[in-house]
Structure 1
Amino acid sequence: MQKKNRLALALAFIAASGSAQAATLIHAGKLISAEDKKVLTERTIVIDGDKISAIEAGYRKPGDADTLIDLRQHTVMPGLMDMHTHFYTQFSPTVYSEGFTMNEADYALRGATFAEKTLLSGFTTVRELGDNHQISTALKKAIAKGYITGPRIFAAGKSIATTGGHADPTNGVAYALMADPGPKEGVINGADDARKAVRQRYKEGSDLIKITATGGVLSVAKSGSNPQFTDEELHAIVSTANDYGMKVAVHAHGKEGMERAIRAGVASIEHGTYMDKATMALMRKQGTYYVPTISAGKWAADKAAIAGFFPELVWPKAATIGSKIQQTFTEAYKAGVKIAFGTDAGVFEHGNNWREFIYMTEAGMPAIEAILSATIEGAKLLGVEQELGSIKAGKIADIIAVPGDPLTDINQMGQVSFVMKAGQIYRQ
């Protein structure tokens, strides 16, 4: 009897050991690993749990317990990263009045649909750069716990502005409703307010800080490019964020406000419309990333041509600033500024993030570099390049695929047919 028990235990152990070795195999016809600019052919990606365990030449024959995913007619690449999204909104002519008709729960539930659409279009990681009511923080937690479907979120929470600045939530409302928002609401005046606002975002669960260093396009305020923070305020924000392990992303259109922020040590400039050669040289010196958001600029310029689409204060800014961003991108790319892919989705329709690839390649960036900007460069900006951003043994299994070859037809980036995040398949 004892011998039989020992035999049964041994057989159970062998069976358990065999099942533990079962893996998911992806047969990739072409592979952009994002470890470099090379395109590999006929590779097998081996996935154990949520991690990539190996990349092998040729097509490994699956074992009886293995799962095989046949992507031999596809180009396989890391999950895409969008460094500038806003799930709490999607712009329309009624967006300025939504705060009077929608509750926090309404924003969050709508945002969940935008998050799912973004993941299914191939974006497995995003930076959420500014919202209200901690919507992005709530979505981040719900996605991480598996309650809803969406990309991995790095959330900034409420953007930080100055009084009347681009992210002051009371711009454009009647005087009786303006009140006097402060650091808790993301509005600061002076270094002490700046420190308090950063600490408030940390308290609320933000992963990074977003500030609006200049005027903006879609806010109901006159200037779209004037500087809106003092040097003292900027240094207080950056130093406090560093104390809490957070990077600072900066909305900026105008040159002066942009350069103040770069000198203060921020991680990235978003939009960057009026940067010039001196600004670009400063960015190279400081190692500052540029997140272009060409898609949002083109959308704003197109909508400015529709009478009544924007409020009177907004449409001139949309017409002039929006149309310039693509040319700025061309100059920044030629100047050697570090570039990370970002779209400002939420200004335009979520799920169309991929169109940024078209605009980047139109502006002179080779397709392979555009894809790298949305993979390994995004991971470097986030500081997670050891875990994400490329297909390499030991990294998290965020993998997508498109049919054909996006390096010869960039439109294929809009045809994502396979999405895996952390080893789980969401689209096949």
Structure 2
Amino acid sequence: MRPFPKLLAAAALVGSLLATSSPAFAEKIALVGGRLIDGTAELPIRNSVILINDGIIEQVGNTDSLPVPEGYRVVSTEGHDVMPGLWESHAHIMLVGHANYTHWQEAYRDRQVDEIMPAALVQLLLAGITSVRDLGAPLEDSVAIKERLRNGEIPGPTLYTSGPFLQAEVDEWQRHYRWEVKSIADAQEKVQRLHAAGMEIVKLIDHDDMDRSVAQAIVDEAHRLGMKVVAHAHKPDEIRIGVEIGIDNFEHTGLTTAPGYPQDVLDTLVERTATGIFDGLLFWTPTMEGLFTYPDLVANPEELDDACWERGLKPDTIADIKQSIAKPGHLSYSQLTPLRTPTIRNKINQLRETGVMMLVGTDSGIPMKFHCQSTWQEMAVWVHDMGFDALETIRAATYWPAVMMGVQDRYGSVTPGKVADIIAVRGDVLKYMNIVRDVDMVMKDGVIYKYGGVVDEALLSEFE
């Protein structure tokens, strides 16, 4: 993606983490003082110095080894952990939390590119998400929103898109964002259409209901064109067949209320992960926090009142979403969830033991999963409930998603030569992962959108 206009928040006040609201042109920045967790296997760097020129990281060191050259604007990160910008590996930017899908698709079909998708993107960005995989949307809307980002008309993360789902059968009301695929020729033609439109990903669901040769043709054509293929893992056969046809990344924990994955599925995953080296890794995005914490949300729905999810949305949209989620425990969408919740921990442990490379993703945008909240909540549950190592979790939200998409030469770590997508959180994120809910600084393409917890509203207004 082309960098946004080189507009930066004004210089930090001495001894303060508050930036002024007036944007100014500046191409050379030095982030100085914080502990750097750079996204690689390297140990954190205390008192770090990061030199950024024209949106690219030039050098990384610490205050003892890397003096700030003349001409760089110094931005303090003292007292903070500094990290690569986060990736949200499973988002739906055509959705912003409404609980009635059929109503949403009918009522907001014509408001996606001008209202809904830009709102989702700015909410993600201000939450520290600098790259996002959008998995399922009308093709024309995906093309249009990518064009708006490229032209600098709206702020947002680097966006990787799938366009419509590919599947065996589609209900009439879903046909604008889901495509049926019935034959090998149809599979090849539809994948080619997605690729020609600029989609980087193919999203395949219910592929166990397809003729095997058709599903194989989708994967083969996507790989021929350099695209990644992600697939649902809701059913055992989706996993079994998905491994055989060469899926790159499975999505969700799945299997409804079953206590765990069948042994033959686990054996298949182990065999697959045993054959993949760096370029052949098998990725998995479990999207499990919403399932795991749903009973807590029903007991205390206060987080649904957080105004962060209202940013960029019109008053009537906000009111419509609020009425749809007024009774979280009543939603038909979630009635099975309390029975699934107790199975999540075992399924996560089973997946970890198979050797799949797990990525942080949330299904952000589905009912009650807001773009401004979902990613940090997932990361916190990984560490504080599921027992993942904090550094492992950060890499699952930074480095490994970039590897999965084949863009690790430009994104995923705070290292020289990479794009300056950088965030900072106040405190020790390796001890308290949930502090990621309050990202103090957000830098995208070398542009600071948020500093000291304060959004640069003047900068955002430049896009309006």
Fold conserved between structures, TM > 0.5: yes
CA distance in 2, matches of 1:323, 1:92: 25
**2:89 aligned counterpart, secondary structure:** strand
What residue in structure 2 maps to residue 281 of structure 1? 270
Deviation at 1:323, TM superposition (A): 5.4
Inter-CA distance 70–49: structure 2 relative to 1 (3 Å threshold): same
**1:354 aligned counterpart, secondary structure:** helix
What residue in structure 1 maps to residue 155 of structure 2? 149
2:394 partner amino acid: I
Deviation at 1:321, TM superposition (A): 4.4
Inter-CA distance 417–42: structure 2 relative to 1 (3 Å threshold): same
Percent identity over paired residues: 24
Computed over aligned residues only, the root mean square deviation of the Cα atoms, in angstroms, reads: 2.6
Structure 1 residues 172-231: Cα deviation after superposition (integer angstroms, max 9, x where no partner): x6xxxx9xx69x9511123222222212212332111111136xxxxxxxxxxxx32332
List gaps (5 residues or longer) in structure 2: 1-25, 256-260, 299-324, 452-464
Does the 8 Å contact 1:284/1:337 carry over to 2? yes
Deviation at 1:298, TM superposition (A): 3.5
Inter-CA distance 104–23: structure 2 relative to 1 (3 Å threshold): same
What residue in structure 1 maps to residue 250 of structure 2? 269
What residue in structure 1 maps to residue 331 of structure 2? 309
1:404 matched to 2:404? The reply is no
**1:131 aligned counterpart, secondary structure:** coil
1:395 matched to 2:396? The reply is no
CA distance in 2, matches of 1:323, 1:229: 31
What residue in structure 2 maps to residue 372 of structure 1? 395
CA distance in 2, matches of 1:322, 1:139: 35
Deviation at 1:40, TM superposition (A): 1.3
Give the TM-score taking structure 2 as reference length.
Answer: 0.76
Does the 8 Å contact 2:232/2:238 carry over to 1? no
**1:24 aligned counterpart, secondary structure:** strand
CA distance in 2, matches of 1:28, 1:230: 57
Deviation at 1:294, TM superposition (A): 1.2
Q: 2:200 aligns with which of 172, 196, 207?
A: 207
CA distance in 2, matches of 1:203, 1:236: 17
1:194 matched to 2:195? The reply is no
Does the 8 Å contact 1:104/1:133 carry over to 2? no
Larger Rg: 1
Deviation at 1:85, TM superposition (A): 0.5
What residue in structure 2 maps to residue 293 of structure 1? 287
Inter-CA distance 295–169: structure 2 relative to 1 (3 Å threshold): farther
List gaps (5 residues or longer) in structure 1: 1-20, 215-226
1:111 matched to 2:117? The reply is yes
CA distance in 2, matches of 1:234, 1:28: 51
**1:238 aligned counterpart, secondary structure:** helix
CA distance in 2, matches of 1:373, 1:37: 15
Does the 8 Å contact 1:379/1:389 carry over to 2? yes
Structure 1 residues 339-374: Cα deviation after superposition (integer angstroms, max 9, x where no partner): 121111011111112111111112121111000101
CA distance in 2, matches of 1:424, 1:384: 20
RCO comparison, higher one (Cα < 8 Å, 6+): 2
CA distance in 2, matches of 1:43, 1:196: 50
Give the TM-score taking structure 1 as reference length.
Answer: 0.82
Inter-CA distance 246–404: structure 2 relative to 1 (3 Å threshold): same
1:56 matched to 2:61? The reply is yes
What residue in structure 1 maps to residue 258 of structure 2? none
CA distance in 1, matches of 2:159, 2:112: 19
